[in-house]
Amino acid sequence: MAKVCSKLLFLSAICIFIAQAFAQPSFLYHFCLDNGNYTSNSTYKANLNQLLSSVSSNTEIDYGFYNSSYGQNPDKVYAIGLCRGDVKPDVCRSCLNNATNLLPLLCPNQKEAIGWYDYCMLRYTFRDIFGIMEASPVFYMWNNNNVSANVDQFNQDLRTLLDSQRVQAAKGGSLRKFAAGNATAPNFQTLYSLVQCIPDLSEQNCSDCLVGAMGDIPQCCDGKQGGRVVRPSCNLRYEVSLFYDPTAITVPSPPLSNKSLTVIIIVVPTVAFLVLIISICIYLLRVRKPREQPENTSSQWEYDPKRTDSDQSKGSLV
């Protein structure tokens, strides 16, 4: 009887696993990396669950980049969530929520896994990956339609467009390294493309990653009307039809730190007070009348605005 119950529990667990997996949208692609395993009752598993639950629930982040860690070595877990640069915050969080539910189901024992949707990417691992450029694992996708004519010119136009976007994205800040745009292609077509890096990469590492991704295009997508090269640290995509939201492409401003707020709170009143004092002094000097002097005295009252102005201290907003 005990064996029968055990088998039933096992089958029930399998059914629940399958139901949960089918409840989530499928990834475009995912990898369960063979870099170490964990057990279902391990500290690593508990840390992973805690970390993933905090990714999509962090509503303070509205620029599409999540990087966090949880736990202590050797069971510390690192995770990165990245949404496409034109995706709105609510869509981003929904995408990451699906990813955090699905990826551990598809990779139930692997300590390192990565999965991509159209709108977001989720990655977790046992090692520190923040600020590190990684080119693998990589996957490709391509449009089934071929470029109808003048393939060489199409490739040249694509290269020029991607090069300009690579430079723009690499110069992006720590919140977003993303660029999108279009150019004219042969046969009166419009070529659309976007590139993106993990925002915590340096400018050079972002550029190098995208150069490598561009170099992969001939291997996967040569002569095709569209294609994607997707790496852990960067990705690119191009099509002859619009596939991103051009109205949502904005560069976020870095949030003010507590230190910055303190400086502003201190400096602004100080500068305002100095400006007030200077204004009062200038006003009093302008309306001041000279004292009466004897008629045989040659001394006259003088006002030197240059000397008065130079004696005033000036403040600047830092």
| pLDDT, tens digit, 9 for 90 and up, residues 23-47 | 579 999 999 999 999 999 999 999 9
Q: How far apart are CA 133 and CA 115, in angstroms?
A: 17
> Considering only CA atoms, which of 59, 36, 51, 216 is closest in space to residue 112?
36
User: Is 143 found in the same domain as 120?
Assistant: no
Cα 173–chain centre separation: 8
Same domain? For 108 and 151 the reply is: no
Amino acid at site 23? A
CATH of the domain at 156: 3.30.430.20
Contacts of 166 (CB under 8 A, 6+ apart): 179, 195, 207, 210, 211, 214
Same domain, 119 and 145: no
Flag whether pLDDT at 193 surpasses 70. Answer: yes
Q: What percent of the chain has pLDDT over 90?
A: 66
Whether 187 and 104 map to the same domain: the answer is no
The total domain count for the chain is 2
Q: Edge to edge, what strands does the sheet with 110-116 contain? A: 29-37, 110-116, 120-125, 77-83, 65-70
pLDDT at 268 over 60: no
Query: Do residues 145 and 100 share a domain?
Result: no
pLDDT at 281: 56
3-class SS at 2? helix
The CA distance from 180 to 206, in Å, is 15
* Range of the structural domain that residue 30 is part of: 23-125
Q: Measure the CA–CA gap between 210 and 198, rounded to whole angstroms.
A: 11
> Does the residue 215 lie in any domain?
yes
Q: Are 58 and 67 in contact (CB under 8 A)?
A: no
Single-letter amino acid, residue 186: P
Please give the backbone phi and psi of residue 43, each rounded to the nearest 5 degrees, phi first.
-65, -35
Residues 164-183 have a mean pLDDT of 97
Instruction: Give the DSSP letter of residue 292.
Output: P
Q: Are residues 108 and 144 in the same domain?
A: no
pLDDT band at 276 (very low <50, low <70, confident <90, very high): low
**Mean pLDDT for the chain overall:** 81
Domain-terminating residue out of 125, 153, 170: 125
Mean pLDDT calculated for residue range 166-193: 96
Give the domain-ending residue among 125, 158, 180: 125
At residue 253, the pLDDT reads 45
Q: Determine the Cα–Cα distance for residues 106 and 115; give it in Å rounded to an integer.
A: 10
19 pLDDT above the threshold of 80: no
The more confidently predicted of residues 64 and 269 is 64
